[in-house]
Amino acid sequence: MDYLNEYRNWVNSPYIDEDTKVELLGIEDNQAEIRERFCSHLEFGTAGLRGLMGAGTNRMNVYTVGRAARGLANHINALGSGYAARGVVIAYDSRRFSREFALRSALVLCAAGVKAYLFNDIRPTPLLSFAVRELWAAAGIVVTASHNPPEYNGFKVYWEDGGQVTSERAEWITREIHGVCDACGVPVMDRERALREGLLVEVGEEIDQKYVDKVQSLCLDRDMVQKNGGRLRVVYTPLHGTGYRLVTKVLAAAGFSRVETVKEQKEPHMDFPTVRSPNPEDREALGMAIAAAQREDADLVVATDPDADRIGIAARTKDGAFETFTGNQIGALLADYILSSRNSKGLSSERDVIIKTIVTSEMGRAIASSYGVETLDTLTGFKYIAEKIEQFSKTGKKNFIFGYEESNGYLAGDFVRDKDGVIAALLICETALHHKLKGVTLSEVLEDLYRRHGYFLEDVVSIRLEGCEGLEKTRRIMQHFRQNRACIGKLLGEPVQETRDYLSGLRYDQEGAELGSLDLPVSDVLYFALGGSSWVCIRPSGTEPKLKLYYSVVARGKEEALERLERLKKRLDRVIKKVIDS
């Protein structure tokens, strides 16, 4: 891509607004910055766009968003007028320009003859998934960058089942986007005309209430919660995002009457001013909530990320301190409570399954197995879990009970087809209440699970590799490990029983000989099984400019697990640094 020529096209285009031109003229003497912004088009990845906001083809702005919306519209129109009439539901979060990007997407769709349902205010991502199904829409868009820093935004696409678009459909949409040659000149309908012609429809609280009612049905012991919900003291923070309205409404309706919201983080804010990063996986992001919980003598802290699809928690221990839990640990606690509750009520079935991603701890499988429940694996990304749920709904061969991933995403029920922080908030509060009534803390429950199933310990290391140079480094690292798969055991200091290359779709033994094929879609992922339930996995992030390294070890105790984990991390880190520096 001739980035200088593309830069000049934007500066001289009659369709580019003056503010954008001023921003571009401000970098006219900075060749490196021009290259970063125009070296490529922002790629439509596993489910959409995500990137830094700013002017340029490689940035999130109304023009790159409009180009993506037009590509989606072209794909929908190619499927026939029936799909266009069913329309696209659009939601957005509290980030900078989210409302503008959502409105531009809607008006681009309308200009292409595709109906658009636009929420009248910020909404959580899982509500978008629900609304697509509830309104029988053809597709959905949510404008969000999840828990990324404030300078990012994104554009995620959902299909008619309420799940993020599958890889195959994403490729079809990508081809249509590539066919939109001039991002600056994409037709945009006037808002008043779109409303007048019925192509633009505003969506309000009527969808919220239907969703809240559905979420209530997921309570496993409604009587216990209704009678005792006031005995659990909860501090909640939406981290300046979209979760406040629905999380508090759902908890109150269930019977949790003692829920306090962190007042400094209650209101939506595009800059997330009270946290370094609005990521509920990080204890630092829960700092204000934990301090409030200490003051209020609360039992539990619950946090949702800006688009309320992920959740983080901290719980009071016996000594009065607050312990945070990893995504895998929360998943283990929820899986155990859900399955034990179903078992005690006689609701279990031999068709029951839980679903987790390949980079999620094997502890969930061990717990499910103890209840006679099968565990299925998918690639990283909740869209693959949603795909399985849709298959089960059609065939009836399996009964989906619970799905989760290590990055703090959870789902129960099948009326939402994405991770759902609102549902997770209800279930974790119910779990905590159940154990509190027995005089047991969540930390004690987790330790008991370790005693029963083995000490599972995990970690994720993200290496940030930004820009065009970062993409090349990522490619080089993945290539190095593929070419040297027979040596991985020596590099890690542990025998590798099996290497799984999800890009080639093949399995290899420790000498590198082919063992057979993998029964999962193609993806740029390398997985090294180390024996027992321990493993290491490497993959480029599908949503951020990062290379992600996943580690999972199992041992008889915590110290042994920690020692093994640190040894693996140090060895792999040395290899990757050597490749980056080469």
Q: To which H or E segment does residue 503 belong?
A: none
Closest CA to 400 of 410, 417, 408, 412: 412
Q: What is the pLDDT of residue 374?
A: 98
Q: What is the pLDDT of residue 229?
A: 98
Partners of 463 in the β-ladder: 547
pLDDT-based confidence at residue 465 (cuts at 50, 70, 90): confident
DSSP 303: E
Percentage above 90 pLDDT, the chain: 84
Q: To which H or E segment does residue 486 belong?
A: none
Closest CA to 93 of 36, 33, 155, 139: 155
Q: What is the pLDDT of residue 55?
A: 96
Average pLDDT of the residues in 112-140: 98
Q: How far apart are CA 387 and CA 367, in angstroms?
A: 23
Q: What is the pLDDT of residue 467?
A: 76
Specify the CATH architecture of the domain 211-453: 3-Layer(aba) Sandwich (3.40)
Q: Which residue has the tokens 């959409």?
A: 48
Cα of 517 vs its chain's centroid, Å: 28
Q: In this structure, are strands 311-316 and 300-304 parallel, antiparallel, or unpaired?
A: antiparallel
What spatial distance separates the first Cα and last Cα of the chain, rounded to whole Å?
26
Q: Please, what is the angle between helix 327-344 and helix 442-453, to 10°?
A: 80
Q: What is the pLDDT of residue 235?
A: 98
Which amino acids are annotated catalytic? 146
Q: What is the pLDDT of residues 238-284, one digit of tens each?
A: 999 999 999 999 999 999 999 999 999 999 999 999 999 999 999 99
Average pLDDT of the residues in 445-474: 91
Q: Which two tokens stand for residue 230?
A: 């006031």
pLDDT-based confidence at residue 471 (cuts at 50, 70, 90): confident
Q: What is the mean pLDDT of the chain?
A: 94
Q: What is the pLDDT of residues 486-506, one digit of tens each?
A: 778 887 888 889 999 999 999
pLDDT-based confidence at residue 204 (cuts at 50, 70, 90): very high
Q: What is the pLDDT of residue 257?
A: 97
Secondary structure E strands in 136-206 = 139-143, 152-159, 200-203
Q: Which two tokens stand for residue 502?
A: 């999800």
Q: What is the pLDDT of residues 350-394, one digit of tens each?
A: 999 999 999 999 999 999 999 999 999 999 889 999 999 999 999
pLDDT-based confidence at residue 129 (cuts at 50, 70, 90): very high
Rg (the chain; Cα; Å)? 24
Question: Is pLDDT of 570 > 80?
Answer: yes
Q: How far apart are CA 247 and CA 280, in angstroms?
A: 15
Average pLDDT of the residues in 212-230: 97
List % helix, strand, coil for the chain (3-state, nearest 5). 45, 20, 35
Domain 3-203 grouped into CATH 3.30.70.380: no
pLDDT-based confidence at residue 46 (cuts at 50, 70, 90): low
Question: Is pLDDT of 342 > 90?
Answer: yes
Average pLDDT of the residues in 447-471: 90
Q: Which residue has the tokens 């009248």?
A: 120
The answer to whether 211 and 238 have CB atoms below 8 angstroms apart is: no
The answer to whether 367 and 465 have CB atoms below 8 angstroms apart is: no
The answer to whether 305 and 146 have CB atoms below 8 angstroms apart is: yes
pLDDT-based confidence at residue 54 (cuts at 50, 70, 90): very high
Query: What CATH number labels 455-581?
Result: 3.30.310.50
Numbered ranges of CATH 3.40.120.10 in the chain: 3-203, 211-453
Q: To which H or E segment does residue 558 belong?
A: helix 558-581
Q: How far apart are CA 568 and CA 549, in angstroms?
A: 11
- How big is the CA angle at 396 (ends 330 and 520), to the nearest 5 degrees? 60
Numbered ranges of CATH 3.30.310.50 in the chain: 455-581
Q: What is the pLDDT of residues 134-193, one digit of tens each?
A: 999 999 999 999 888 899 999 999 999 999 998 889 999 999 999 998 888 999 999 999
